Amino acid sequence: MNFTTQMDAARKGVITRELETVARKENMDVAALQQLVAEGKVVIPANKNHVSLEPCGIGRGLRTKINVNLGVSQDCCNVESEMAKARYAVELQADAIMDLSCYGKTAEFRRRLVEISPVPIGTVPVYDAVGYYDKELEEITAQEFLDVVETHARDGVDFMTIHAGINRETAVTFKKNPRLTNIVSRGGSLLYTWMELNDRENPFYEYYDDLLEICRRYDVTVSLGDACRPGSLKDATDASQVHELIILGELTRRAWERDVQVMIEGPGHMPLNEITANMVMEKKLCHGAPFYVLGPLVTDVAPGYDHITSAIGGAVAAAAGADFLCYVTPAEHLRLPTLEDMKEGIIASRIAAHAADIAKGVTGARQWDDDMSEARRNLDWPEMFRLAVDPDKAKRYRAESQPEHEDSCTMCGKMCAVRNMNRVLRG
């Protein structure tokens, strides 16, 4: 039977290779997963032209996934450096990579990334449009924006952030409700500026059906961008954010009518006590579509440590229903991250995602922790290292401070509770 997208196949009762692979990875019944994909509650980003892809699923009942951002910019335009980051991200078990390139040889970098990456690749076409056409933002036409989308789709990109929710109506709401940090989304600010300069509707909203046709043809998952995500605690859950979210819910239904898979992007910066309510609101307004959050960062005062502020918010968000966490590095708000920054961001996000999976009762999540606890009870250091989220760091810390007794560590030595209880219980 012919099908166009993973959603179309699921609705027609076709079990694709990608769906079978995801079901096996997630220890989920194939029929149950098929139903979730058909309903739009799970997405499998899998562009037909991404031949190196090892598909993963994002959404209800699945392990919380994490995404890594990278790419070339005008100030840092080293393609080989970013390719090294991509390889390292896969090695560190990132689930997806987003190419945010906005300058230089973006097409070359994107195609190489798709060629070597086993994980889904995402992009933000509006970033690329500015550099690709090499002309002023206001001079780019609606058709040219769509042409960039098709170029990315043809190159094999699996999901694209499309800021279609910031339409003229949302812009009015933004103007009537002043913010402390205005619009901090790069794509959102570009499109807001384009609308103001041209006195026209957002082309991604006005020509949304044309965009969906492109996505349907290549099976690109639309990641509906949150142009009005809060960039500070003060702006969280305000009129602009909520208004745009309502629009995104409407756009979700329109995409599903054309069998196009959809994710929803969310905040941003947000007080800890508002996160759970926001997750519930998003799922309700967007009909259960998978939710993809940047953080959220739970305080604004920790530059250099925002991988921690993000991990705190990410754990709460994912436990409350978010399905996909965009990593944040210690370099957030300061500079382009290094390889070491990237590692710290990935590890922090993986810990947050795993903590949330335990809370959500994801199949198999708790077993990892039980296995680690058994290794600790047995003082089995090699097994502890094998199970650690960062084995290299665990081994290094152990090697840097050797105990007198091998079955203890330098924290407690002979007073180690585990060591002593093992000896007493063994008689």
Q: Residues within the annotated binding site for Zn(2+)?
A: 269, 333
Measured CA to CA, the distance from residue 136 to residue 72 in angstroms comes to 20
Amino acid identity for residue 426 in this structure: R
The candidate with the shortest Cα–Cα distance to 96, out of 56, 59, 126, is: 56
Query: Position of tokens 């840097």?
Result: 400
Binding site members for substrate? 69, 98, 127, 163, 185-187, 226-229, 265, 292
Q: How far is CA 115 from CA 49, 50, 53, 68, 277, in A?
A: 10, 7, 9, 17, 40
Binding site members? 69, 98, 127, 163, 185-187, 226-229, 265, 269, 292, 333, 409, 412, 416
Binding site members for [4Fe-4S] cluster? 409, 412, 416
Measured CA to CA, the distance from residue 241 to residue 217 in angstroms comes to 31
**310 Cβ contact list (under 8 Å, min separation 6):** 294, 295, 296, 297, 327, 328, 332, 345, 348, 349, 352
Measured CA to CA, the distance from residue 98 to residue 114 in angstroms comes to 11
Provide the β-strand partners of residue 59. 42
The candidate with the shortest Cα–Cα distance to 382, out of 366, 399, 370, 365, is: 399
- Tell me the DSSP string of 346-390: HHHHHHHHHHHHHHHT-TTHHHHHHHHHHHHHTT-HHHHHHHSSS
